[in-house]
Structure 1
C-alpha cells in the first residue's frame, strides 16, 4: 500500500489528502480481490415481507462488490484513471421498501424482480472557502469567489429498484429480465386478489451472486458444501457457485454361487474418476446416475451380474465392474475381469479384477481404486462400498457344498463446492 511523505515547513497540497483516500481504496480493493475474486458479489440485501404483512417488501442493508475503473472521472485535482481497475464495494446501511401491485384481472398473476447495481457518484455539494491572496483575512466564497457549490464526497452505494413483468394467466407469467448493468436479486410473484405478501412469494433468483459463506464458517481444505448420491438424482448448482469437484465410483460386479467342488471367483470393482467441473451456472440442473452393484448368483440358478456405470451429466463417469466371460453358473471359479474404468476425469483409475476361487475358498473381490477388496467366506461377501467387487463363495469344509454368491458394492457420486 502506497503512503504519502510530507515534510515540516512544506506547503500542504490538496493531493496530499486525495492520494491518501485513493491509496486506501486501492489497497482495500486488492484485499477484496484476493478474497472474493473479480466477479460481482452480493452480500446481505435480504428481501422479506413487511411486518405486519402488506403488499410491500423490505430489502435490508448489504453490499455489492464489483470490479470497476479506479476513477472514470477526475478525482478533485487528480486526473481520471479509467484504464486501471480495482474492486469496489457499494454499501447500503439502511433498509428500503418497495410496493408490489397485484393484477386486476381474475385468474392472472404477475412476477416482479428486485434488481440492484453498484453506483459511484459525487455528492454532498458545499460552497467552500478559498484563499484570497489580496486579502487573506477575507476568504473567497467558492472558486474565484464565484459562490459555486462543489461536490465534497465520492460515494459508493447500492442502488435498488423494482421491475414489473406483464400480467398473465397464473402459471404462464414471465419473470422480467434484469436491466443492462443491473443484477437480478429476487423474484416476487403475486396473484389476483392477493392482499399480503408472504415469504413464499419471494424467491432468490438462481443467478444472483450472493455470498453464501463467511470466513468463520469455512475450514481450510474442506469443501463449503458436499452432496453425496447413492442413487440416481439431480444436482442443482447452488447460488454463487460456478465450479464443483466431482468424484464418481462405478458399481462392483457380483459373484457367482459356488457349485460342489468349485468355489466361485470374486467380482471385479468399478472404476473411479475425479474432475474439477468449471463453467457452471447457478440453478443449472445436472443429471446424476449412480451405478448399482451387480446382483449375486444363487444356488437356484440366478447368474451374477455386472456393476452399473456412475456419471455426472455427460461430463465424467466411471464404468461398473464386468464379469469374466469364461465364468458361468456351472463353472464359476474364474475371477471377474475386466474391472471398471474412469472416463473424462482429471484423474482416472481402473478397479481391480476379482481373484479366482481356489480349493474350497471363494476368490477375493476386486478392490475399488479408493477402497479395499472383500475377503471371501463360506457364502459370498458383498463388495465393499463404494464400488468393490463381491467375494466369491466357498464350498464348505468338505468342498462339496454349494453356497450363494453376493452382490457387488454400489456406486457413488460425490459433489463438493
Structure 2
C-alpha cells in the first residue's frame, strides 16, 4: 500500500492529509477485492423487521462494500485540495442507524435497494489565517462565516421499488430484499421477505471447523415444540417432518357377533425439503411436533414455519375405527405437503373385523417401522416416530372396552447448510 512521506521543517500542506486518505481508501479497496473478488458487492448487518400494522419494514444498521471510484469530485479546495479521480476502487458505504422503508403499494413484488454514494458532510465554520495579519484568524474563507464540509462519507440510502433506481455517479445500487405483497394487504405481517445474494458468510465463519462440522453432521432430531435460531453462517436448512401415528381401534366383545377385532391406526405423513433462510430474518424456525393419537384418535400434525409462513407439514395418521357393529377399517395414513425432496403419505393401518371375518389390525409403520401389533384385550402401542397403534381383539366380557394401542408421536429433523 502507498503511504504519505513528510519531512521535518517542510511547510505542511492540506494535500498531505488528503493523499493519506486516498492511500488508505485504495488499500482498503484492494483488500476487499482480494477477499470477495473484483466488482463484487457484499453486505454486513442490515437485518430487517417487518411492520405488523403498516406496509413498511425497518432495515437495521450495517455496511456494504461495492464498486465505486476514488473521488467523483474535487476534495478540499480554496486554492489547494485534490482533483477528482475516477479510478475504480472497491468502497465501503455505511448506514449507522436503522432506516424505515415504506412500500409504494400492494399486489406486486418490490425490492428494497441500497443506493450507495459518497457525500460531503459535517459543514463547519473553520478558522483560516489572515495573510495580512498572521496573528489573527478569520471565520471561514475571507472571514465570510461560511461553513465547509469536513468529511467525505460513503452513505446508504434505501429505496423500495419494482425496478432498480439509477446508480449515482461513481456509486452503486444493491438489491437487499425482495418482498411479495398480496393485493389489498394493509401490513407486512406474514409476508414473505427474501434476502438478496448480497449477504455473505464472514471469513471466520467459513474458516472454522465449526462450519464444516455443522454442515456435515447428521440431522438433529426435535421431539417437542419450540424454535431454532438460524446460525450466522447458514443460508439454507434441510428439514424433514413426520406426523404423529393414529391410535388403533378398541374392542368390546368376546365373539365376532359384535365389535370384536379393531383395526390399526395409520402412520403419519412424511415431508422432506431444503429451504433458503437467513440469520438476518425474523426469529428463526418455529417447530410444531404432532402427538401420537390415543385409541381411535388421529395423530397430530408436525410442521415447520419461517417468518409466519409454513415451509412444510405432515399430518397425523387417522385412528382405526368401527364403521359398523362388526366392521372396522384401518386408519388412513397422514398426508404431507411443502416438501421439495418428497411428500409421502403415511402407511394405512390394517383392517380389523369384517362381519365374522377378522384381520390383523396392525398399525401402519412409520418411516422407521415401529407399528403396534394387534393384541388380545388391548392393542399394542407403536414404538417409533410416526407409527400407528395396533387394534384390540376380544375383551374380558361383552361390553367391556379393551382399548387400541396408541400411535407414536411425530418428530422434526433439521440440518443447516452453508
TM-score, with normalisation over the residues of structure 1? 0.47
Higher strand share: 2
